[in-house]
Chain A
Amino acid sequence: MNKKRVLILILMAVSLAGLMFVSLTLGAGKLHLTEIIYALTHPKTPELAADIIYKLRLPRIVLAMVVGAGLSASGVVLQGMLRNPLAEPYTIGISGASAFGVSLGIIFGASAPFLPIFSATAAIITMFFVFLIASRKRFSPSSIILGGVILSFFFSACVQMLFSLAKSEKVHSAVLWLMGDLSLTDPLLIKIVSIIILGSTALLITLGRDINILTLGEEKASNLGINIELLNKLLFITCSLIIGAAVAASGIISFVGLIVPHILRYLGGANYRFLIPASALGGAIFLILCDTLARTVILPLELPVGVITGIIGGTFFLIYLFLSKTKRFF
């Protein structure tokens, strides 16, 4: 890894830490800086400030960090696996599938910590189909994105069907969650999701060199000694776990896995040994930024963070479509 890339990674890590602190100071309840520092250094203090920080802001920031990192890292890996720069959990329909899994869980009354099981299962099954179709169509970019759009429509219809059949008190919170919402405060679920996502992302980071080779196509990768079938399986199960966990905790947050890797590829090149850790850091930064915006921009109301990433991502996608002159795009 060259010096420029190491520098980018260090800068990102520092900005992430700084951003987390700044984000702690912002929000509906006005807290003074000294109160925050006091609460942070004295976790057991019974003051209101400590409650706001430990029960409201910190869990939310941590969740934003974890979900952002996971979505972005799995996005960049999916792009390499499918050899498609537009692939990410949302655009290929896996987020939608996970949302359906979670909705099923909610309807059947599963308690929060078990929801990742539902969503990850749905993600793995769908990922398998996406991959099967993609390899039959020789991984043409348009077929993958088209398939993703179809899957998203399909699962969104399924979710709506479930909710229209369900009792109304369950529906309101579920609809908010579906739009991409980080305000979840079930501490056990946050812990489970964090462990799944951070562990899986760490595994992906160790596979950077193999993914580099995989982007050259299955034939060449096989000639260079990669066990394609094993690697593909490992990657799609790992990515499904990440996406499933992220969706179970925070619903459908679109485009994080598209925007962040594109910017980083532009800055630091295509090497996955750099791209995966950088995307994880970048995704964390991006989602904390978006969520801070979401919970402060129209005080005292809050927006679901998915609305913010959707608007930014949609705009980004559109600009990309206009500027991209290469035929490779669709």
Chain B
Amino acid sequence: MNLINIKNITFGYGQTEVLKNISCAVSESDFLGIIGPNGAGKTTLFKLISKLLKPWQGKIFYNNIDLTKIPLHQLAKTMAVIPQILETPFSFTVNEFVSMGRFPHLSRFENFRHQDYDIVNQSLNLADVSRLSSHRLTELSGGERQRVIIAQGLAQTPKLLLLDEPTAHLDITHQVRILDLLKRLNKQTGLTVIVVMHDLNLASEYCDKIILLKNGEIFKSGSPREVFSYENIEEVYKTTVVVKNNPISKKPYVFLVSEEENKKRR
């Protein structure tokens, strides 16, 4: 079943069109990566799906319901969104911060029930941050912080998790830990994951489906094998590359070729 169905959406800022006539569908339990060069419209598409922006034309259906008809607090019960930048000017503890994920499920004067505490603890465990629960957010490293932010999303008990570049600025240890976590959740609980990514090889390694954007249009979508051909990547990124398989996973791996090497071979 299609969890997200995007039909001919067009959107822009001011007079400039950023996305042109985009259509695509995301099934339940998909692990979808959105990739493309800077300015291709990845984050804009992300914000349209999370209802932060309204399309100029076209419609987005979530669970077969028009997204504009779903109130934000209703949407927040099943869709968790992890934006690229999350401000935390005040030093909440990890436990308090993750507990905020229960917000959409509580009515105004309702207090935490047993099940809410359980869900928060589970989310802390899943994201492997329980031992940090009494630490303050400001004391954490970048990788820990990112896992705590994901734990907050999990506390919403979502069906769909949307993440905008969750591994940016992290070292490979934390990149892999975070993507492994997402993969595990996707496989074990059937959580649908949509993730905007910059790193092509991480996207190839972890995503089951890829959407490659170019200048606000879908250039190619499909499995990593279908999308990551050197022709596609060279065309979209205007860079010489070689695509080989990862010897362990057999997934496509994109190698860069520097100008110097490129000249030698001509």
Contacts and interface: CB of A to CB of B under 8 A. Distances in A.
Interface of A: 79-80, 83-85, 206, 209, 212-213, 215-217, 219-220, 222-227, 265, 269-271, 328
A298 B93 CA distance: 45
In the A-B complex, the 8 residue pairs with the smallest Cβ-Cβ separation, listed nearest first, are A225-B73, A225-B76, A270-B90, A223-B81, A225-B104, A217-B87, A83-B89, A270-B92
A269 B91 contact: yes
A217 B76 contact: no
Given A269-B92, A270-B90, A212 B74 contact: no
Contact of B72 (A212, A225, A265): A225
Contact of B89 (A84, A209, A220, A269): A84
Contacts of A270: 90-92, 96
B90 A227 contact: no
B86 interface: yes
Interface string B84-100: 01111111110010001
Contacts of A226: 72-73, 103
Given A223-B52, A225-B72, A225-B75, A216 B87 contact: yes
Contact of B93 (A219, A220, A269): A269
Given A222-B52, A223-B76, A223-B83, A216 B88 contact: yes
Contacts of A217: 83, 85-87
A225 B90 contact: no
Contacts, number: 80
B100 A225 contact: no
A41 B108 CA distance: 41
Contacts of A223: 50, 52, 72, 76, 79-81, 83
Nearest to B164: A219
Nearest to B83: A219
A265 B93 CA distance: 12
Contacts of B103: 209, 213, 224-226
A216 B72 contact: no
23 contacts: A83-B89, A85-B90, A209-B103, A212-B92, A213-B103, A216-B87, A217-B85, A220-B86, A222-B72, A223-B79, A223-B80, A223-B81, A224-B76, A224-B156, A225-B104, A226-B103, A227-B72, A227-B73, A265-B90, A269-B96, A270-B92, A270-B96, A271-B96
Interface of B: 50-52, 71-77, 79-81, 83, 85-93, 96, 100-101, 103-104, 106, 108-109, 136, 156
Given A83-B89, A225-B72, 9 more contacts: A83-B87, A206-B109, A220-B86, A223-B79, A224-B76, A226-B103, A265-B91, A269-B96, A271-B96
Contacts of A213: 100, 103
B100 A212 contact: yes
A265 B96 CA distance: 14
Nearest to B101: A224
Most central of B75, B79, B96, B106 by chain A CB within 10 Å: B96
Contact of B83 (A206, A220, A225, A227): A220
Nearest to A219: B83
B259 to A, nearest CB: 37
A84 B89 CA distance: 7
A5 B80 CA distance: 30
Nearest to B111: A1
Contacts of A220: 81, 83, 86-87
A227 B104 CA distance: 12
Nearest to B84: A219
B89 A225 contact: no
A224 B83 CA distance: 12
A328 B89 CA distance: 8
A206 B109 CA distance: 8
Contacts of A269: 91-93, 96, 136
Contacts of A80: 90
A85 B104 CA distance: 26
A85 B89 contact: yes
A328 B83 CA distance: 20
Contacts of B80: 223
A217 B109 CA distance: 23
Nearest to A80: B90
Contacts of A212: 92, 96, 100
A219 B91 contact: no
A224 B76 CA distance: 5
Given A223-B81, A270-B96, A216 B74 contact: no
B83 A215 contact: no
Contacts of A216: 86-88, 100
Contacts of A328: 89
Nearest to B104: A225
Contacts of B106: 209
Contacts of B87: 83, 215-217, 220
A223 B73 CA distance: 8
A313 B265 CA distance: 70
A215 B74 contact: no
A224 to B, nearest CB: 5
A85 B71 CA distance: 31
Contacts of B73: 225-227
- Residue of B51, B87, B90, B156 contacting most chain A CB atoms (<10 Å): B90
